[in-house]
């Protein structure tokens, strides 16, 4: 008798486990190995010491942090009202507006950066304000990643909660600060993680719009991988830790908070 082929739940996870081992865990170990070895592949902390004793590298990582923070803040300020209006309006066309914000994501990234380069040139900012251009480019690129999670959380808030707030004497301001913001916190956090992390490393934007005069930490990793894989790996590892800590702070690891565009 032939037994019917049956998959247990565990065996269904095997493809992912294999993927995880080969494309996530092993590369990560390789990075750690390279980071803590010198040119002769001996264990050494020389890269670690070099990184923290080099003011240029420290300045650059600090600059990247600041650029990422500003980008995130600007994205939040722009995205929140948009998401709020879209989520609460009864308008039939609101999906059209939402689509307008999301469709740029479907166009090739390099193409979009090139387009905004032309635009900045036309305005006259290109080459004049490199840091500003970098931030404009980042905001433009990452805005949808902020709008989507905000929109989905705001949409989920029950209308009756607003009514309850009004019943209990809350004016629209208190309703906003005491009901809307706390309830949309998971969306805010998720949006922040999704914007903050890539804007620390997306050097295509800083190269194209900052004319390579703005160097963020991701660019350093790329440059070092041309000449010195060990230092490159060390910078990548340090960035990984920064990212890990900031995700921890924003609670990105909590599963119930994860609402990254689940409705779309």
Using the rule CB under 8 A, is 212 a contact of another protein? yes
Residue 43, SS3 per DSSP: strand
Report the candidate in 216, 250, 249 with the shortest Cα–Cα distance to residue 137: 216
Residue 38, SS3 per DSSP: coil
Place of tokens 């709020």: 84
Using the rule CB under 8 A, is 125 a contact of another protein? no
Using the rule CB under 8 A, is 207 a contact of another protein? yes
Nearest-angstrom CA–CA distance, 117 and 56 = 27
Question: Closer CB to another protein, residue 164 or residue 249?
Answer: 249
Using the rule CB under 8 A, is 127 a contact of another protein? yes
Q: Least distance (Å) from another protein to the CB of residue 58?
A: 6
Among 44, 211, 247, 258, binds another protein (CB under 8 A): 211
Q: Which pair of structure tokens corresponds to residue 96? A: 């059209």
**CB atoms closer than 10 angstroms to residue 142:** 26
DSSP 107: S
Question: Closer CB to another protein, residue 121 or residue 263?
Answer: 121
Using the rule CB under 8 A, is 56 a contact of another protein? yes
Using the rule CB under 8 A, is 229 a contact of another protein? yes
Q: Are 80 and 189 in contact (CB under 8 A)?
A: no
- Give the number of residues in contact with another protein, rule: CB under 8 A: 39
Nearest-angstrom CA–CA distance, 32 and 30 = 5
Beta bridge partners of 37: 43
Using the rule CB under 8 A, is 200 a contact of another protein? no
Binding mask 73-112 toward another protein (x if CB under 8 A, else -) reads ----------------------------------------
State the residues that interact with another protein by CB under 8 A.
Answer: 39, 54-60, 62-63, 65-66, 69, 117, 121, 126-128, 130, 207-208, 210-213, 215, 219-220, 223-229, 245, 249-251
């Amino acid at each position: 008798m032939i037994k019917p082929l049956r998959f247990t739940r565990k065996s269904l996870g095997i493809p992912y486990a294999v993927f995880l081992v080969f494309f996530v865990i092993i590369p990560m170990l390789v990075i750690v190995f390279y980071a803590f070895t010198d040119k002769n592949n001996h264990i050494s902390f020389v890269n670690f010491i070099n990184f923290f004793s080099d003011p240029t590298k420290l300045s650059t990582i600090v600059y990247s942090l600041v650029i990422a923070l500003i980008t995130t803040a600007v994205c939040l300020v722009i995205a929140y009202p948009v998401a709020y209006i879209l989520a609460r309006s009864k308008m039939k066309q609101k999906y059209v507006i939402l689509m307008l914000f999301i469709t740029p994501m479907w166009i090739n990234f390099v193409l979009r950066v090139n387009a905004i380069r032309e635009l900045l040139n036309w305005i006259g900012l290109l080459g004049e304000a490199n840091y500003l251009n970098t931030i404009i480019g980042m905001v433009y690129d990452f805005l949808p990643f902020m709008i989507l999670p905000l929109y989905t959380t705001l949409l989920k808030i029950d209308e009756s909660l607003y009514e309850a707030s009004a019943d209990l004497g809350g004016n629209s301001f208190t309703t906003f600060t005491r009901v809307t913001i706390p309830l949309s916190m998971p969306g805010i956090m998720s949006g922040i993680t999704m914007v903050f992390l890539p804007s620390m490393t997306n050097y295509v934007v800083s190269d194209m719009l900052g004319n390579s005069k703005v160097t963020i930490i991701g660019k350093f990793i790329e440059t070092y991988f041309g000449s010195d894989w060990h230092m490159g790996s060390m910078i990548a590892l340090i960035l990984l830790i920064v990212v890990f800590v900031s995700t921890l702070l924003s609670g990105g690891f909590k599963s119930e908070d994860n609402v990254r565009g689940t409705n779309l």
